[in-house]
Every structure is written in structure tokens, then in C-alpha cells.
């Protein structure tokens, strides 16, 4: 299908984009890589009056190693994120989750910021940002503010980014020396997660000393499995990892859909958490 | 209307386009380059794949205006005159196609894959082509074609 007609504005800076959003009012729509937005426009599920393209704003692109953290511009493509040496060595779980998104063509254009701002309940990067306590820098006409991951994801397709605001960058605390893994469960190539589990684990003397775990597609927003994180401390065997992972379904009330009913989702949450942690920790 | 300047398969074009024009429609309808085809409405099938500034993208999931200033290669621009691209030759030799509808996208995605990884394993080929669907071949001969293309391209280096 052909999208409904709209005006197009190519923004050259964050200020430029903010001004275009303010001018466009309610029906203005920001575009990153367009890999969620163009399909939506094509199906006429959304009909903005003006599309503000921020895909060529230099300050939104790039990955900076800032000592204790890695700062990723919102407009950095999935392809750039998953191939970045600093991301691969200090944020393996993010590199893994990003490599599992869609397919090479979509990863060439889709951006980390676009995926996080879109916040599809099935998306693979939001649970990583939540588990790793990423910090989101958001720009508005009155200046910039920082939002913690725990406050960023507010509902399906709903985040702390207001309609007149722009997500500028995401800062991830570096996890040097940690193991990481993203366990994605789906039925066919290129398909979305039925459930995905992001795990990062720090080992000390053969035992798990610290763990961070986030799940996708078990509710409207990504889920932090805090009870599993606590129960894993001290675990060194697969039996202990599996026992701790039983808590992955604590406080979950997932939905049923064509892929999985509620009981099956709860089962998958437990099994895939154990699998993901075991891989991240190198325990078999 | 927005002004657009793009180079497609070596020729530079300047056109006025409506912002809502998808790149694939611009290529087919404004430039008459119909080698690139549309196979779905959901950004899944990959048959519309072209190279934009050297990397594969789905031309149905990009606005034509976004391609302003870039260089595009479609299936119609991969051969060197009458000399086929090694990936094209390999698809012919290994029967990497049946109806041929997915082939423009398969060939472009294979070129992108081999650019990034000249010696892919079978698993890497299958994963690298996950954005391209084929309803006929069962993929087996497509994988063989990419393996053969890797050999042919290895031979052309030196
Ligand atoms: C066939 C297909 C399969 C896919 N499979 C997966 C998958 O398996 N897993 C997965 O996680 N994702 C998947 N995706 C989604 C893909 O990851 C998109 O790239 C991503 O969701 C959106 O990123 P984008 O930069 O293209 O955003 P856009 O499409 O440009 O924008 C998406 C939304 O975010 C907003 N936005 C964009 N940038 C910003 C910004 N800087 N600040 C504020 N708001 C912004 C836009 O206004 C829009 O509402 C798939 C998409 C397709 C088409
Ligand atoms: S036409 Fe199917 S992905 Fe572009
Ligand atoms: S050859 Fe017919 S779709 Fe691939």
C-alpha cells in the first residue's frame, strides 16, 4: 500500500528536529531508521501530517567509550551497535540481542534509539536496557533530562519520551569481565521473540557473584527478574541455576496469543532464563 | 514535492518526488527500473532489496526522499556489461532459482553477505539471508549458489 500523503522535513540537528516537532504539533512524527515507522505508514496505521527525519543528524550517531560506561547515540544503527568492538567486549548481551533483531537489511537502517523509543512489547533490546540499568538522555525544547531505565518503559509502545521530545543517547554501564547472553525463542527466521531473556553474569571463584536479567514479551513492558538475580548469587551448578530460575515467573501475568498461552509463557520464562544464565555464566 | 538527486546503477537522476513515495516505487515507476520487485506489504520478503551506498536495504521500507545524495545498485546494475556478477553466474550454475521472483533480492543480499564475510559457513549463509523469503526452492540451492559464488569471487581476487 502507499502511505497517506505527508510533508517531509529532514532535520540537520537536534534543535532543528525539536523545532520541526513543535511546529508540526500533534500530528508530527519523528523518524529514526524508519524500520518500524515506514511499515506502519504503508499499512496506513498512522497518518502523520509531517515526518521529521532525524536519520542524518550527526550528533545522534556513534558509540563512545567513556570509561565506566558506553554512550550510544540514539541514531546508531543496529548493524553498527552489534559490530562495535567496545560493545562486543563490555556489553556482550546487547551485541547478542541486537544481532537477533529482524534481518541484515533492517539492521542496516533500524536504530537502537528508534527500537527503544518504539518500545514494542516483543522487542529484543528493551529487556537489555532494563536489566543493565541504562540511562536515557532525552531532549526537549526546555533542555535535556536523564531518565533511568526503570522509569523509561511505561506501557506497550509507551515510554518517557514525550511527543515533542527526542531520545538523544543511551548510556550503558560497562560490564567488563562479565558473561552475557541473549536467549531468543521464536519459530522461524526473522520472527519476533515469543519470549527473549537477556542475562549478564559476573563470576567469582566459579560461583555467580552478580546477575542481571531482563525478559521480553511477558507483558506490556520488559520485565526485570529481580527475584532470580538474588536467588542466583552463589550458584555454581546447572541444578542451582535451574532452581533459581524457577523465580522467573514470580509476579508475572503474561498474556495469551497465537504463539503461546499463559501457562506455556510462564514455563518458557523459567526454562529460557535458566538456559540464558547458564550460557552467560559458562555453566553446563 | 521534494527534490531528489540519486545515482542508480551508474546513472544520476534529478527528480521531484512526493515524500510518501517509497524507494521501490520510485525505482519502478519514476525510473522504469522494474528489475526490483515488490513481494509483500509487511517488510518481510526482501525481494525489493537494493544496495544503498553499498549496504543492503529493503527499498519498500525506505522513502525515496531519504535516498537523496546516495548511490543505489539494483539487480540491473550488478553485471559488468555482458559479464555477469559471480553471484549471478553461481545462481544460474547451481539452479538457485525456480520462478525467479525472489532472485533480485536474493542476489543483492548475497552480494552484501559476501562483501562482509567472503568465506561464510553454511549457517552464516542461512542467517545472512534470513531477510529474504523464497517460496520455491526450499533454500538449499540458494545456499549452494552462495557457496559457489564465494569460490568464484575468491578466484577473481589475486
Ligand atoms: C520485518 C521486521 C522484523 C522485525 N523484527 C524485529 C525483531 O525480531 N526484534 C526487534 O526487536 N525488532 C524487530 N523489528 C523492528 C526493528 O528493530 C526496528 O528497527 C526498530 O523497532 C525501530 O527502529 P527505527 O530506528 O527504524 O525507528 P523508526 O521506525 O524510525 O521509529 C519507530 C518509532 O520510534 C520513534 N523514534 C525513532 N527515533 C526516535 C528518537 N531518536 N527519539 C524519539 N523517538 C524516536 C518514532 O517516532 C516511531 O514512533 C522488525 C521490523 C521489521 C520491519
Ligand atoms: S517488498 Fe517485501 S520486504 Fe520489501
Ligand atoms: S524462486 Fe520462486 S520465490 Fe524464490
Best of A105, A114, A189, A191 to disrupt the B interface by mutation (most B CBs within 10 Å)?
A105
Domains identified in chain B and CATH numbers: 2-77 (3.10.20.30), 86-155 (1.10.150.120)
Question: What's the confidence (pLDDT) of residue B157?
Answer: 55
**A-chain residues near B68 (CB < 8 A):** 10
Within an 8 Å CB–CB cutoff, is residue B113 touching chain A? yes
Q: Any residues with CB less than 8 A from the CB of A258 and at least 6 apart, and which? A: none
The upper half-sphere exposure of residue B142, i.e. CA atoms within 13 Å in the direction of its Cβ, equals 31
Asked if the model's pLDDT at residue B130 lies above 50, the reply is: yes
Spell out which residues of chain A touch residue B112, defining contact as CB-CB under 8 Å: 104
Which atom number of ligand 1 is nearest to the Cα of residue A168? 41
Q: Which of residues 69-88 of A touch B (CB under 8 A)?
A: 79
Helix (H, G, I), strand (E, B) or coil at A155: strand
Q: Which residues line ligand 1 (CB under 6 A)?
A: A 29-37, 39, 54, 74, 101-102, 106, 110-111, 113-115, 117-118, 123-125, 161, 166-167, 190, 192; B 43-44
Using a CB-CB distance cutoff of 8 angstroms, which residues of chain A are in contact with residue B62? 34, 38, 109
Specify the pTM: 0.97
* A46 and A120 inside one domain: no
Cα distance between residue A17 and residue A206, in whole Å: 50
Please report, for the domain that includes residue A158, its CATH number.
Answer: 3.30.465.10
- A118 C-alpha vs ligand 1 centroid, how far in Å? 6
For residue A27, give the CATH number of its domain: 3.30.43.10
Name residues whose C-beta falls within 8 Å of residue B55's C-beta, 6 or more positions apart in sequence: A79, A108, B112
Closest ligand to the CA of B133: 3
A261: left (phi over 0), alpha (psi -120 to 50) or beta: beta
Confidence of residue B158 (pLDDT cuts 50, 70, 90): very low
Measured on CA atoms in the order B115, B119, B122, B124, is the torsion positive or negative? negative
| pLDDT, tens digit (0-9, with 9 covering 90-100), for A86-139 | 999 999 999 999 999 999 999 999 999 999 999 999 999 999 999 999 999 999
Ligand 1 atom nearest to CA at A193: 8
Q: Identify whether A209 is part of a domain.
A: yes
Same domain, A184 and A245: yes
CB of residue B136 inside a 6 A radius of ligand 3: yes
Q: Does the residue A1 lie in any domain?
A: no
Closest CA to A103 of A38, A184, A190, A191: A190
Beta-carbon separation of B19 and A7 below 8 A: yes
Pick the last residue of a domain from A173, A192, A216: A173
Domain count, chain A: 3
* CA separation for the pair B64, B60 (Å, rounded): 9
Phi, psi of A257 (to 5 degrees): -145, -170
For B8-55, give the DSSP string. ETTEEEEEEE-TT-BHHHIIIIIS--TTS----SSS-S-TTEEEETTE
Digits of tens for pLDDT over chain A (284 positions)?
889 999 999 999 999 999 999 999 999 999 999 999 999 999 999 999 999 999 999 999 999 999 999 999 999 999 999 999 999 999 999 999 999 999 999 999 999 999 999 999 999 999 999 999 999 999 999 999 999 999 999 999 999 999 999 999 999 999 999 999 999 999 887 889 999 999 999 999 999 999 999 999 999 999 999 999 999 999 999 999 999 999 999 999 999 999 999 999 999 999 999 999 999 999 99
Q: Which range marks the domain in which residue A17 is found?
A: 7-53
Closest CA to B105 of B52, B58, B54, B41: B58
Contact residues, B window 115-154, toward A, CB-based 8 Å cutoff: 126-128, 130-132
* C-alpha span between A177 and A112 (Å, rounded): 24
Let me know if residue A144 belongs to a domain.
yes
Among A143, A173, A203, the domain-final residue is: A173
ipTM of the complex as predicted: 0.96
Residue A88 in any domain: the answer is yes
- What is the phi-psi region of residue A99: left when phi exceeds 0, alpha when psi lies from -120 to 50, beta otherwise? alpha
- A104:B112 CB<8 A: yes
Domain C-terminal end among A140, A173, A206: A173
Pair (A113, A203) in one structural domain = no
State the Cα angle at A34 between A33 and A40, rounded to 5°: 160
Q: Judge if A35 and A75 occupy the same domain.
A: no
User: Do B20 and A6 lie within an 8 Å CB cutoff?
Assistant: yes
A2 belongs to a structural domain: no
Mutate which of A52, A82, A102 for ligand 1 pocket (most atoms within 8 A of beta carbon): A102
3-state secondary structure of A222: coil
CATH number at residue A276: 3.30.390.50
Amino acid at each position: 500500500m502507499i502511505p497517506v500523503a505527508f510533508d517531509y522535513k529532514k532535520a540537520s540537528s537536534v534543535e532543528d528536529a525539536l523545532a520541526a516537532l513543535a511546529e508540526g504539533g500533534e500530528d508530527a512524527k519523528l523518524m529514526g531508521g524508519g524500520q518500524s515507522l515506514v511499515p506502519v505508514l504503508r499499512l496506513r496505521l498512522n497518518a502523520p501530517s509531517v515526518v521529521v527525519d532525524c536519520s542524518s543528524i550527526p550528533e545522534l550517531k556513534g558509540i563512545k567509550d567513556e570509561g565506566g560506561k558506553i554512550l550510544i547515540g540514539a541514531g546508531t544503527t543496529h548493524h553498527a551497535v552489534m559490530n562495535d568492538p567496545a560493545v562486543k567486549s563490555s556489553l556482550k548481551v546487547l551485541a547478542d540481542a541486537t544481532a537477533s533483531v529482524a534481518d541484515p537489511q533492517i539492521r542496516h537502517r533500524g536504530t537502537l534509539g528508534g527500537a527503544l523509543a518504539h518500545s514494542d512489547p516483543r522487542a529484543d533490546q528493551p529487556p537489555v536496557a532494563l536489566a543493565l540499568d541504562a540511562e536515557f538522555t532525552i531532549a526537549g525544547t526546555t533542555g535535556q533530562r536523564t531518565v533511568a531505565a526503570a522509569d523509561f518503559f511505561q506501557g506497550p509502545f509507551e515510554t518517557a519520551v514525550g511527543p515533542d521530545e527526542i531520545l538523544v543517547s543511551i548510556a550503558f554501564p560497562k560490564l567488563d569481565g562479565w558473561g552475557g547472553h541473549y536467549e531468543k525463542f521464536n519459530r522461524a527466521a526473522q520472527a519476533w521473540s515469543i519470549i527473549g531473556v537477556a542475562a549478564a553474569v559476573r563470576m567469582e571463584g566459579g560461583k555467580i557473584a552478580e546477575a542481571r536479567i531482563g525478559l521480553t514479551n511477558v507483558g506490556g513492558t520488559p520485565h526485570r527478574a529481580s527475584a532470580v538475580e538474588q536467588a542466583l548469587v552463589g550458584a555454581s551448578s546447572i541444578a542451582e541455576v535451574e532452581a533459581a530460575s524457577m523465580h522467573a515467573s514470580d509476579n508475572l501475568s503474561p498474556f495469551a496469543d497465537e504463539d503461546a498461552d499463559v501457562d506455556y509463557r510462564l514455563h518458557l520464562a523459567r526454562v529460557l532464563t535458566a538456559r540464558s544464565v547458564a550460557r552467560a555464566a559458562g555453566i553446563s | 514535492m521534494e527534490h531528489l538527486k540519486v545515482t542508480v546503477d551508474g546513472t544520476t537522476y534529478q527528480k521531484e518526488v512526493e515524500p510518501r513515495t517509497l524507494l521501490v516505487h520510485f525505482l519502478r515507476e519514476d525510473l522504469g527500473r522494474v528489475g526490483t520487485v515488490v513481494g509483500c506489504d509487511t517488510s518481510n520478503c526482501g525481494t525489493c532489496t537494493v544496495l544503498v551506498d553499498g549496504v543492503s536495504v529493503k527499498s519498500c521500507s525506505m522513502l525515496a526522499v531519504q535516498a537523496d545524495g546516495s548511490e543505489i545498485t539494483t539487480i540491473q546494475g550488478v553485471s559488468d556489461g555482458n559479464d555477469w556478477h559471480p553471484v549471478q553466474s553461481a545462481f544460474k550454475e547451481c539452479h538457485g532459482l525456480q520462478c525467479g521472483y525472489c532472485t533480485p533480492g536474493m542476489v543483492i543480499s548475497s552480494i552484501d553477505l559476501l562483501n562482509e564475510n567472503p568465506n561464510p559457513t553454511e549457517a552464516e549463509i542461512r542467517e545472512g539471508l534470513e531477510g529474504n523469503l523464497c517460496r520455491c526452492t526450499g533454500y538449499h540451492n540458494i545456499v549452494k549458489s552462495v557457496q559457489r559464488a564465494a569460490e568464484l569471487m575468491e578466484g577473481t581476487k589475486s
